[in-house]
Amino acid sequence: MNHQSIYIDHLTNSLRNAITGDTFATELYAVTAKDKPLLKQHWLFDWLKETKNAEAEVWKLVIVHNPTVIQGLLSMSDRDDHIFVNLVENAYFNIGKSKVYEGVGGNLFAFACKRSFERGYDGVVSFIAKSTLVRHYEQMLGAERLGSSLRMVINTPQAHTLCQRYFPSR
């Protein structure tokens, strides 16, 4: 099981250019065979392998009118009563001090919450966190740790807040 290690830099309403502060509307699309060449390099996780996982849905985050540049990737599975985030990752150019855009991680988790609402799961999303990021996910996403495990859950009120931020008119 993969432990989530994406750092949520800021909760934005879309993506924000880290230098200029300009914001850009985003869209999420299911990854297709056409996208597979873009998944071969510059990613920490093996996204090609993940696209072969029959239980996973793999989505790409892009800026509206620029669908060929993937800003981040999300893999999630339907667990019949909630959405489980298998993997989530920023594009390499959206990591660290010289990142291009802020808000990728929040956007991806908000989308998982949105899918949970759409499927009748009240926005509930779970994932396994790296131990060093548990407190960060609590603060940034409102996620709660389940017992002493590294499993975390985003419950309905926090999911609603994330969806309102990233998908206000959808």
What pLDDT was estimated at residue 28? Answer: 96
Q: Is residue 9 domain-resident? A: no
CA 64/CA 56 separation, integer angstroms: 24
Smallest CA-to-CA distance from 46 within 55, 29, 58 is with 58
The residues near 5 (Cβ < 8 Å, ≥ 6 apart) are 130, 133
Q: Is residue 162 domain-resident? A: yes
CA 123/CA 81 separation, integer angstroms: 10
What pLDDT was estimated at residue 9? Answer: 65
pLDDT tens digits for 111-124? 999 999 999 999 99
CA 134/CA 34 separation, integer angstroms: 35
* Domain range for 66: 15-166
Q: Is residue 130 domain-resident? A: yes
Q: Average pLDDT of 118-145?
A: 94
Q: Give me the number of domains the chain comprises.
A: 1
Domain of 31, CATH number, reads 3.40.630.30
